[in-house]
């Protein structure tokens, strides 16, 4: 790069020297025009003044021609000599660099040649070693072939010897080979039978002894994996109010606000429970939740009037629907269940606001499904059937159709959405209403029982429970034809015995319908209540 830089400097200096030696047009004097006439003086009224002006006007003088100074010529010569000297220096420097580059290149070529020669020698050594290895392998193959031939020959001799020995043994024993084999096996079997029986009994005892421990370990491990971080909501639907004045706004003029609220939401409002709270009661948990959120917003807003109540309830109903869908979607994702219909996911989301004896259905379903999945893995059952069966086993509890038990409603819902038959069997058999058809259905039943029956999972107000049983029997006993009545199965069934002397056979259906209607209209109860009416007439005689 220095060579080309010096050449560039040389040409630049020569151009500057040429510009310095050239004459500049700015110093050239203008040429004298002999034809130019002097300006005539103007006529004036004062001749003396005009003459003075004529005399005082200066005459033009001729300009000298430009001449190149000797000094400029000498400077140009000096610059040319300097440029020639620099050119010679540049040429010398270029030659030096060329020689250095050539020497470096020759050195690198010699180094590369040396490396190539070294690699060639190394390759030759490796090829020699490979030739030696190949020679040894050939010799080894030859030895192996020889050894194989010898072994084949020895094998033939051994077979011949074995055949001769067997023939000799048959001659000595008087039995053929198969007969001797059968005799030997019979003897061994008789000898080992007693030992085998003893071992079998021992293994059975160990299996029975370890069965309970193994089952306990499986269940404990399943419950450990089923532990959830969802806390059951052991609360009632109450709304805190800041002051007694809010109660007056809730009631409104002539009770129009409270009547409008109860009519729109379908929820009863109790204002006499506490001065600082309002209690909401409704059997439908979704309606109760909508009413609670709506009332909280109305209290916060302060504008409690029928029109405003309708707007707030409608808005909250839409929001609750979205909340339920997201809750159902999250539960399905937590359990690894996908591709369910959106309407079914919306129904599963209703678990968020549904409680069974204080146990939230989302918590119960999540816990039960994890237990069932673990048991299914341990037993080698169909995990997908167990997973979906545990997820949908209580779907009937959130059905909008109130006719029938939650098992029957769950079967209808599953068939409506095209769920497979094994999963429908899980729903139908999880309370032993039908015989079990497979291990998956039994696993769903076991997981449901573990989750619902474990200590602390559920609670119930025993006073209200006893009161409900008493009311059921009281309604049944209120009819004259009833002799006795019993509330059984935790209040899910009422068994009524009619007095045959005061009733007829047709009264069985009539009394059952009357009791059913009074229970539906007068009582609040979870699930369904079956009314069974029995009438029988017994004849009794004693022979002496």
Read off the pLDDT of residues 177-227 as tens digits, 9 standing for 90 and up.
777 777 777 777 776 776 777 777 787 777 777 776 677 666 666 555 554
> Which of 96-100, 229-233, 254-258, 304-308 comes out lowest in average pLDDT?
229-233
Percentage of the chain beyond pLDDT 70 is: 77
- Alpha-carbon torsion angle 290, 527, 439, 417, nearest 10: -50
CATH number of 354-453: 1.10.3210.10
Dihedral angle sign, alpha carbons of residues 95, 101, 104, 110: negative
* Chain centre distance of CA 185: 62
For residues 280 and 258, the answer to whether their CB atoms sit within 8 Å is no
At 381-410, the pLDDT tens digits run 899 999 999 999 888 888 876 567 788 888
* Residue 318, CB-side half-sphere exposure with 13 Å CA sphere: 5
What is the mean pLDDT of the segment spanning 54-73?
56
Q: Tell me, what's the pLDDT at 421?
A: 92
Residue 110 has pLDDT above 90, yes or no: yes
Q: Which residues contact 285 (CB under 8 A, 6 or more apart)?
A: 350, 353, 354, 355
Q: Which two tokens stand for residue 529?
A: 């209540």
Q: Tell me, what's the pLDDT at 9?
A: 55
Block residue for tokens 């009281």: 474
Residue 109 has pLDDT above 90, yes or no: yes
Q: Tell me, what's the pLDDT at 15?
A: 47
What is the mean pLDDT of the segment spanning 500-504?
86
Q: Tell me, what's the pLDDT at 129?
A: 92
378 closest CA partner among 227, 228, 220: 220
Predicted confidence band at 68 (pLDDT cuts at 50, 70, 90)?
A: low
**C-alpha R_g of the chain:** 58
Predicted confidence band at 435 (pLDDT cuts at 50, 70, 90)?
A: confident
Indicate the class that CATH gives domain 467-535.
Answer: alpha beta
Block residue for tokens 């030997």: 184
Predicted confidence band at 454 (pLDDT cuts at 50, 70, 90)?
A: low
Q: Sheet containing 493-498: give its strands across.
A: 482-488, 493-498, 530-535
At 297-347, the pLDDT tens digits run 888 888 888 888 888 888 888 888 888 888 888 888 888 888 888 888 888
Residue 456 has pLDDT above 60, yes or no: no
The count of other CB atoms within 10 Å of the CB of residue 467 is: 12
Percentage of the chain beyond pLDDT 90 is: 18
What is the mean pLDDT of the segment spanning 249-271?
83
Q: Which residues contact 484 (CB under 8 A, 6 or more apart)?
A: 477, 496, 497
Q: How far apart are CA 481 and CA 508, in angstroms?
A: 10
Conformational region of residue 427, where left means phi above 0, alpha means psi within -120 to 50, and beta covers everything else = alpha
Predicted confidence band at 97 (pLDDT cuts at 50, 70, 90)?
A: very high
Q: Tell me, what's the pLDDT at 347?
A: 87
What is the mean pLDDT of the segment spanning 356-362?
72
């Amino acid at each position: 790069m220095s060579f080309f830089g010096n050449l560039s400097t040389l040409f630049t200096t020569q151009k500057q020297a040429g510009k310095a030696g050239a004459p500049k047009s700015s110093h050239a004097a203008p040429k004298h025009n002999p034809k130019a006439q002097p300006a005539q003086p103007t006529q004036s009224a004062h001749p003396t003044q005009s003459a003075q002006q004529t005399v005082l006007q200066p005459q033009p003088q001729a300009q000298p021609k430009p001449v190149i100074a000797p000094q400029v010529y000498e400077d140009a010569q000096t610059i040319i000599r300097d440029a020639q000297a620099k050119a010679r220096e540049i040429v010398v420097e270029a030659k030096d660099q060329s020689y250095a580059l050539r020497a470096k290149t020759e050195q690198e070529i010699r180094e590369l040649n040396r490396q190539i020669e070294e690699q060639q020698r190394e390759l030759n050594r490796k090829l020699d070693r490979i030739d030696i290895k190949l020679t040894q392998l050939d010799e080894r193959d030859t030895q192996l072939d020889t050894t194989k031939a010898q072994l084949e020959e020895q094998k033939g001799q051994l077979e011949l010897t074995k055949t001769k020995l067997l023939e000799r043994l048959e001659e000595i024993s008087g039995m053929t080979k198969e007969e001797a084999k059968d005799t030997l096996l019979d003897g061994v079997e008789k000898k080992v039978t007693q030992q085998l029986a003893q071992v079998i009994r021992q293994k059975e005892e160990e299996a029975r002894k370890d069965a309970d421990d193994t089952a306990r370990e499986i269940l404990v491990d399943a419950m450990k994996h089923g532990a959830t971080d969802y806390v059951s909501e052991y609360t009632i639907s109450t709304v805190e109010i800041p002051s007694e004045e809010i109660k007056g706004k809730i009631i409104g003029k002539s009770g129009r606000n409270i009547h409008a609220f109860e009519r729109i939401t379908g929820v009863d409002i109790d204002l006499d429970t506490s001065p600082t709270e309002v209690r909401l009661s409704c059997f439908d948990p979704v309606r109760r939740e909508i009413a609670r959120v709506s009332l909280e917003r109305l209290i916060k807003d302060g504008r409690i009037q029928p029109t405003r109540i309708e707007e707030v309830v409608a808005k909250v109903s839409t929001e609750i629907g979205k909340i339920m869908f997201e809750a159902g979607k999250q539960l399905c994702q937590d359990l690894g269940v996908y591709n369910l219909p959106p309407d079914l996911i919306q129904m599963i989301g209703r678990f968020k606001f549904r409680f069974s004896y204080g146990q939230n259905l989302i918590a119960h379903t999540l816990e039960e499904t994890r237990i069932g999945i673990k048991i299914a893995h341990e037993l080698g059952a169909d995990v997908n059937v167990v997973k979906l069966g545990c997820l949908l086993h209580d779907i009937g509890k959130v059905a909008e159709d109130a006719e029938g038990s939650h098992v029957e409603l769950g079967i209808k819902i599953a068939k409506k959405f095209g769920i497979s038959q094994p999963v429908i069997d899980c729903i139908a058999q999880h309370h032993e209403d039908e015989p079990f058809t497979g291990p998956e259905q039994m696993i769903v039943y076991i997981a449901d029982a573990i989750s619902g029956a474990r200590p602390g999972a559920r609670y119930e107000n025993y006073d209200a429970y006893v009161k409900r049983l008493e009311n059921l029997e009281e309604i049944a006993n209120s009819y004259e034809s009833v002799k006795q009545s019993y509330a059984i199965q935790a209040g899910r069934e009422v068994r009524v015995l009619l007095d045959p002397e005061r009733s007829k056979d047709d009264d069985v259906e009539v009394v059952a319908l009357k009791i059913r209607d009074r229970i539906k209209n007068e009582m609040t109860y979870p699930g369904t209540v079956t009314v069974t009416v029995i009438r029988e007439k017994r004849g009794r005689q004693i022979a002496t």
